[in-house]
Amino acid sequence: MREIDMSKYQIHTDLIVDTIKKAPFIDGIKEQTYTKNDIYVSNIEIEKDLDIISKKKGFYTTIYFDDVTDTTNCNNVKEIFLKELKKILEKSSIKDTDSCLIIGLGNDKVTPDSLGPKTIEKIIVTKHIYDLTNTLEQGYRITSKLSPGVMGNNGIETSDIIEAVINKTKPDFIIAIDALSSDSISRVSKTIQITTTGLSPGSGIGNKRKALTKETLKIPVIAIGIPMVVDAVTIVFDTINFMTQHFSYNLKNKNNIKNKLIPSSKINYLNDNPKPLSKEETTYLLGAFGNLSDLEKKSLLYDVLTPIGYNFIVTLKEVDFEIEKLSEILSYGINNSLHKIEKQN
């Protein structure tokens, strides 16, 4: 069987946990996790550049949560994001006196890509006051911000604008916010990743071609991303995996597969942690397709949908509300980690 070009998928999955779970036994990866208020947090440290999984040395924090349009949950996520961002700033050796440029990537006219610009709207800036008075109120750091737009909109490579502004204004470090693609529909608008390794080429929803990293910009770059879109291949792939788990659950619990192919049950079979189907069971239920590897399945789905123009990039129907709440969470965490002030909404 011919070699599969998975680069087309790598451009659509930038969450570290997606990568790690595909390569669990690689050396040089340390992970700690905890759960609080139904929010699950993974703190990963990669101790050296791992080319094999295309991941750089650095810290990667991922926060998983449920629907943030619920007010209580939204407030819980705010506090955990704030705590985790503070930890990342510390691990990056950012000093309280270091000045920060906060950058909101993405297109404010495309709702699922507007996470960066919408967050930027609520960011507190102080640089202009410092430049004028040479002093700042107690607790404040020098901050400025930028929504560079997207290249297709303004005709200028986004990273050119960013580099130009950095050269002119000389911040000590960068926080960059971007909407990402997800490799699972269930993570869309329900995961925040923070990393010290910046943004790689091909990350994000838009066509951002150049990296924003310490290597390219010469200053630390803390990247914050939330997956906001998913492609049809991913939705189908996820569903087929769920289908096998659903079959496994039914096999174990119902004796007779065939009669139960279409159960009326509303039971959440995932809670049962169903064991994988055997090769024979898979063949019976899903044929040759069922026995392909994950990479092969995805590649096949890609080959089925792409030539006929059906590999649509989609977002949740409620994306307007999600973006509103998520940008509040991010601006809350950024403002309150950068400035030691009475907490601001």
Residue 242 engages its own copies in binding (rule: CB under 8 A):
yes
Task: Give residue for tokens 């490799």.
Answer: 183
CA distances from 131 to 120, 137, 144, 334 (A): 20, 13, 11, 22
CA distance 142 to 120: 15
By CB under 8 A, what part of segment 57-96 binds its own copies? Answer: none
Q: Which stretch binds its own copies (CB under 8 A): 149-157, 195-203, 213-221, 326-334?
A: 149-157
Distance in Å, CB of 321 to its own copies, minimum: 8
Residue 160 engages its own copies in binding (rule: CB under 8 A)? yes
Question: Which position among 73, 243, 253, 341 is part of the footprint of its own copies (CB under 8 A)?
Answer: 243
Query: What are the φ and ψ backbone dihedral angles of 26, each rounded to 5 degrees?
Result: -75, 140
**Residue of 32, 54, 259, 278 that binds its own copies (CB under 8 A):** 259
Measure the CA–CA gap between 219 and 31, rounded to whole angstroms: 26
| 226 is a contact residue toward its own copies (CB under 8 A) | no
d(CA 326, CA 69): 9
Q: 92-121: which residues touch its own copies (CB under 8 A)?
A: 109-113, 121
Say whether residue 54 binds its own copies (CB under 8 A).
no
Structure tokens given for 342 = 């009475």
Binding status of residue 204 toward its own copies by CB under 8 A:
no
Instruction: Please tell me the number of Cα atoms within 13 Å of 247 on its side-chain side.
Output: 20
Number of residues that make up the chain: 345
Is 167 a binding residue for its own copies by CB under 8 A? The answer is yes
Q: Which stretch binds its own copies (CB under 8 A): 23-31, 34-42, 52-60, 166-174?
A: 166-174
Q: Beta strand pairing status for 221-231 and 173-181?
A: parallel
Decide: is 183 part of the binding site for its own copies (CB under 8 A). no
The interface region with its own copies, picked from 51-59, 74-82, 83-91, 264-272 by CB under 8 A, is 264-272
